[in-house]
Amino acid sequence: MTQATNLTKLVLLDLWQHKGLVLMGVINLSCAFGVILTVHHARQGTIALEQLLEHQDQLQVEYRHLLLEENALAEHSRIERLASNRLNMVRPAPEQEKVVRLP
């Protein structure tokens, strides 16, 4: 037991004599962990950016499809066809037209 205590005492005394080196080693290790943490956060940011860009692309495709659908639904020929088929509407003859003028 005394030999283990003496060995511990010798190790601690040796570390105390080289406290500058120990301090530099601790600083070096903390810098290394800082670099690891920074790289990890940068990779997570890159992954999140890639996912957001992919989602943006999907939204743009959906927007283009909606624009095409809107244009197809807003065509005059389609509206006229639906009005004549579903509502039995017809274009009035010229003699049936009435012009209203404001005074």
Instruction: HSE, CB side, 13 Å, CA atoms: give it for residue 49.
Output: 6
Domain locations in the chain as residue ranges: 2-87
Of 61 and 102, the one with more pLDDT? 61
The residue-averaged pLDDT of 5-12 equals 86
pLDDT in tens, 43-55: 999 999 999 999 9
pLDDT at 11: 87
Say if residues 15 and 22 touch (Cβ distance below 8 Å). Answer: yes
